[in-house]
Amino acid sequence: MAETATTKNLALAKAINESLRRALDADPKVLIMGEDVGKLGGVFRVTDGLQKDFGESRVIDTPLAESGIVGTAIGLALRGYRPVVEIQFDGFVFPAYDQIVTQLAKMHARSLGKVKLPVVVRIPYGGGIGAVEHHSESPEALFAHVSGLKIVSPSNPSDAYWMMQQAIQSDDPVIFFEPKRRYWDKGEVNTEAIPGPLHKAKVVREGTDLTLVAYGPMVKLCQEVAAAAAEEGRNLEVLDLRSVSPLDFDSIQASVEKTRRLVVVHEAPVFFGSGAEIAARITERCFYHLEAPVLRVGGYHAPYPPARLEEEYLPGLDRVLDAVDRALAY
Amino acid sequence: MTVESTAAHKPRRSAGGKAGATGTERTTRTTARKSAEPELVQLLTPEGKRVKNSRNAEYAKYAADVTPEELRGLYRDMVLTRRFDAEATALQRQGELGLWASLLGQEAAQIGSGRALRDDDYVFPTYREHGVAWCRGVDPANLLGMFRGVNNGGWDPNSNNFHLYTIVIGSQTLHATGYAMGVAKDGADSAVIAYFGDGASSQGDVAESFTFSAVYNAPVVFFCQNNQWAISEPTEKQTRVPLYQRAQGYGFPGVRVDGNDVLACLAVTKWALERARNGEGPTLVEAYTYRMGAHTTSDDPTKYRADEEREAWEAKDPILRLRRHLEASNHTDEGFFAELEAESEALGRRVREAVRAMPDPDHFAIFENVYADGHALVDEERAQFAAYQASFVDEDGGK
């Protein structure tokens, strides 16, 4: 499809950039904050050019202090601003974890609804880019366990663009996990489209034999798995969750009632991960529909390994296909 | 700009563990405490006499025009706050509150700083700022909801520009800084004040709030009530230098004020707020005071501090000090004190009745306000809870 006035072919990082630009343009209360987000445009250039066009008071380079970034964003939100903060890498969010969990997540409830905290915390997450320690983690389950937060992760440029718009407009704090290994993947973005609900899953490939559920960086892999399985005569459905909290169990249930088999794929460790929650709830909801136990493919209960080993750690085509085979063998 | 001199002060020596503490170490600590005191900005001595010296000259003008009526107002605020605090402590002992964090002894720090504020200023308290809440017009009974266990807050922060109490130590200093950054962006000339204690000064969030406020020149006053004890840990376990001197390393002024001197607290806070309003950035005020009671009703100060220490501080009582001054200046008569006594008793009675009348929250409050825009899981679990509750009603014959 050729680019039109409203449709652009954008890399995922650039789609977020344009979405942030649109938000800054539309609402003077929107602020961008983080380490290196200004002149450098972020270490992944997601905020490239924004400070130049919107100034240092809208696009704010912060001290290197993650708790400070989130804590001051809370204060700014209390004053009526809508801060979008960047945590440089997944593994660096933990100094801010206290502010996110004990303050950001709870203040609306503590104030009996009088205080709203429309703060977006952007976290480039996941592996596959050959990075050093603390630069490749997937901590989404640690946040999903906390009430008061919403957690989303786009898998493609169009969703990245629109989900960022919706996250900024949300009156709830949103943790926005960006699949950094997909930052450079391109796709069509219709900037005039009317987006679907932020927390609704999307069937990205229809199928009848088994459902693959994924979000963020693993959606593309699952589409590749489905394509490979198709060559073996297997018709897999792929569901892009898009949102980890709330999680769209209705869409998973509908798919599983059709395919009767479910494999959940994520990069995070399997143990106590989002796959565990999905498996438990889908077993409850679909016990009589399931032909096989819900299987999970993900990281191991081990620190994220050095880059030369990450391909062994991360779910890849063969590991997911193996799980598909096991599920279909029941 | 005045930054209190650091030259005269030697870093304190650690008192060491109890078992290993030698006589020499104890002496060192006592000496260190004594040597710290002359740095205080003081306008009123413990005997109630006005002080004029080179150290307080810059601040004294901020209390120079305090009228006798205003002095009586400060006295009334402190007396009523103490009475409220005593009532809350008693209510905890009677089982009406799950916990109480007493402010006994810190009335001057809180009323002095609280009365320095303008209505459009914004306050970020810790969980002991009952006197500041009083100055902001928050109904004292509202402060007790969270201690009784009927809510986790209990007032609208924007009604009185008084944020909810923050339990996690030091977190609110960052909220105050961010809020102040927003005030500056709005071009408003109001100021923000963040309260915290000597223990909180060890927290990373407090350090980060100093960094952010300095870098962005945020109009925020950091008001540290150094009440000498972080539960059972003395200030020596938090710092090797006087706390107000921390500000120097961040590039803004720090000043230590006699926290039991309501006039000095009023003056120094006004000075710091004026700096904030004038775009001169943050200030650290260390109110040097003493928590006369326990950290909360859960601990027992007799296990970790000496009676003599408390007795020494009792002699510096903030309320007694102002009373002596009022009496010596002939600003009051017996009628004033008698009326105030009656007003105190009425306040205690009202608070007692209000607490006992507080209804338990509705069961469904568990699910209220978890999210502003709703959440599917909360909706699902609320429905499950409702069905579970309804099952009891059915068994009971539909009642």
Digitized pLDDT (tens) for each residue of chain B, 399 residues in all:
333 433 334 333 333 333 333 333 444 444 444 444 558 999 999 999 999 998 899 999 999 999 999 999 999 999 999 999 999 999 999 999 999 999 999 999 999 999 999 999 999 999 999 999 999 999 999 999 999 999 999 899 999 999 999 999 999 999 999 999 999 999 999 999 999 999 999 999 999 999 999 999 999 999 999 999 999 999 999 999 999 999 999 999 999 999 999 999 999 999 999 999 999 999 999 999 999 999 999 999 999 999 999 999 999 999 999 999 999 999 999 899 999 999 999 999 999 999 999 999 999 999 999 999 999 999 999 999 999 999 986 655 554
**Contact flag B370-A80 (C-beta cutoff 8 Å):** no
Region at A289 (left for phi over 0; alpha for psi -120 to 50; beta for the rest): alpha
The whole-chain average pLDDT of chain A stands at 97
> Which residue among B152, B158, B168 places its CB closest to the CB of A98?
B168
CA distance A21 to B239: 45
Q: Which residues of B touch A112 (CB under 8 A)?
A: 151, 153-154, 156, 368-369
CA distance A106 to B152: 10
**Contact flag B204-A111 (C-beta cutoff 8 Å):** no
> Which residue among A109, A199, A249 places its CB closest to the CB of B370?
A109
Give the A:B interface size as CB pairs under 8 Å.
Answer: 143
> Which residue among A70, A74, A110 places its CB closest to the CB of B153?
A110
DSSP sequence for B193-226: EEEEETTGGGSHHHHHHHHHHHHTT--EEEEEEE
Distance from CA of B380 to the nearest CA of A (A): 11
CA distance A124 to B335: 68
**Contact flag A75-B182 (C-beta cutoff 8 Å):** yes
Annotated catalytic residue: which of B55, B175, B295, B321?
Answer: B295
Which residue, among A57, A72, A120, would best test binding to B if mutated, counting the most B CBs under 10 Å from its CB?
Answer: A72
Distance from CA of B107 to the nearest CA of A (A): 26
Whole-number pLDDT of residue B31? 44
Q: What is the largest CA-CA distance in chain A?
A: 60
Whole-number pLDDT of residue B35? 45
> Which residue among A63, A110, A246 places its CB closest to the CB of B377?
A246
Distance from CA of B308 to the nearest CA of A (A): 39
CA distance B92 to B250: 41
Q: DSSP code of A197?
A: -
Would you call B117 helix, strand, or coil by DSSP? coil
> Which residue among B175, B369, B376 places its CB closest to the CB of A109?
B369
Whole-number pLDDT of residue B183? 98
- Give the tens place of pLDDT for each residue, A172-225: 999 999 999 999 999 999 999 999 999 999 999 999 999 999 999 999 999 999
**Contact flag A71-B186 (C-beta cutoff 8 Å):** no
Q: Which residues of A touch B179 (CB under 8 A)?
A: 75-76, 78-79
**pTM of the model as a whole:** 0.93
CA distance A56 to A35: 13
Whole-number pLDDT of residue B28? 44
B191 by Cβ neighbours in 10 Å (0-12 / 13-18 / 19+) ranks as buried
Whole-number pLDDT of residue B154? 83
**Contact flag A75-B175 (C-beta cutoff 8 Å):** yes
B27 or A170, which is more confident? A170
Closest alpha carbon to B181 in A37, A56, A23, A67: A56
Closest alpha carbon to B274 in B44, B68, B59: B59
CA distance B109 to B318: 9
| Residue A95 at interface with chain B, using a CB cutoff of 8 Å | yes
Q: Which residues of A touch B205 (CB under 8 A)?
A: 67-68, 71, 98-99
Is A135 a residue of the active site?
A: yes
Percent pLDDT > 70 in chain A is 99
Q: DSSP code of B12?
A: P
Annotated catalytic residue: which of A134, A135, A266, A301?
Answer: A135
Amino acid at B91: L
| Residue A238 at interface with chain B, using a CB cutoff of 8 Å | no
CA distances from A232 to A47, A258, A325, B96 (A): 43, 20, 11, 70
B152 by Cβ neighbours in 10 Å (0-12 / 13-18 / 19+) ranks as middle
Residues near A80 by Cβ (< 8 Å), separated by ≥ 6?
A29, B182
Whole-number pLDDT of residue B396? 56
Could you tell me the strand order of the sheet in which A59-61 lies?
A59-61, A30-34, A82-86, A120-125, A174-179, A150-152, A243-245
Q: Which residues of B touch A103 (CB under 8 A)?
A: 166, 168, 171, 175
Q: Which residues of B touch A81 (CB under 8 A)?
A: 182, 185
- Give the tens place of pLDDT for each residue, A293-312: 999 999 999 999 999 999 99
